[in-house]
């Protein structure tokens, strides 16, 4: 019958615009993930690969549940990176 792209055919123009913006964000996320994989030998980049797949699958199928999961995972990353920077400032790594 119809796959995930079938729902995207009947989407309003505003939803298609947001879907296009999510594809651009997914491309940027993919480039940054590749940079992390090269920098840290794949350890951090593999987790980002999974996050990027959540974003691209959610954007392609216009799945709200996957987008919420992506937002929750990204907020977890923000808190984690904020803690890492805070610890570096506390230990005077920037002085």
Q: What contacts 24+ positions apart, CB below 8 Å, involve 26-34?
A: 26/52, 26/55, 26/56, 26/59, 29/55
Cβ neighbors of 29 (< 8 A, separation 6 or more) are: 48, 51, 52, 55
List the pLDDT tens digit at each of the 95 positions of the chain.
445 556 556 778 888 898 899 999 999 999 988 888 888 777 777 888 888 889 999 888 888 898 899 999 999 989 998 999 999 999 988 76
pTM of the shown model: 0.73
User: Hey, where are the domains in the chain?
Assistant: 13-90
Q: Which residues contact 44 (CB under 8 A, 6 or more apart)?
A: 36, 37
Residue 57 tokens read as 């699958």
């Amino acid at each position: 019958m119809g796959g995930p792209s079938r729902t995207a055919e009947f989407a309003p123009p505003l939803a298609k615009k947001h879907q296009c913006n999510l594809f651009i964000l997914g491309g940027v996320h993919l480039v940054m993930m590749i940079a992390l994989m090269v920098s840290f030998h794949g350890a951090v980049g593999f987790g980002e690969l999974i996050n990027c797949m959540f974003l691209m699958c959610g954007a392609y199928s216009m799945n709200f549940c996957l987008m919420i999961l992506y937002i929750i995972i990204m907020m977890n990353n923000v808190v984690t990176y904020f803690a890492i920077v805070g610890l570096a400032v506390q230990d005077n790594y920037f002085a």
